[in-house]
């Protein structure tokens, strides 16, 4: 559950950065981190379900 909360916070942070037109480098890093976080979370869920 903590992972989901962190991923949601990252997406909220990226939305705020785009709204207020922050530094492009920071925007890209937050978006990449968010996407990687979602991918890792989905992979973790899939692997844990396959193990069961």
Cα 45 from Cα 26, distance rounded (Å): 29
Half-sphere exposure of 47 (CA within 13 A, CB side): 6
Tens-place pLDDT, residues 1-52 = 677 777 788 778 777 777 777 677 777 777 788 788 888 888 888 898 899 8
**Residues of the domain holding 27:** 1-51
Q: Taking the model in full, what pTM does it have?
A: 0.63
Rounded to 10 deg, the angle between the 2-19 and 24-51 helix axes is 160
* Domain count within the chain: 1
Residue 31: other Cβ atoms inside 10 A: 16
């Amino acid at each position: 559950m903590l992972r989901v909360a962190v991923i949601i916070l990252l997406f909220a942070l990226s939305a705020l950065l785009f709204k207020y037109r922050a530094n492009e480098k920071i925007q890209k890093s937050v978006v990449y981190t968010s996407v990687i976080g979602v991918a890792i979370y989905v992979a973790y869920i899939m692997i844990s379900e396959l193990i069961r």
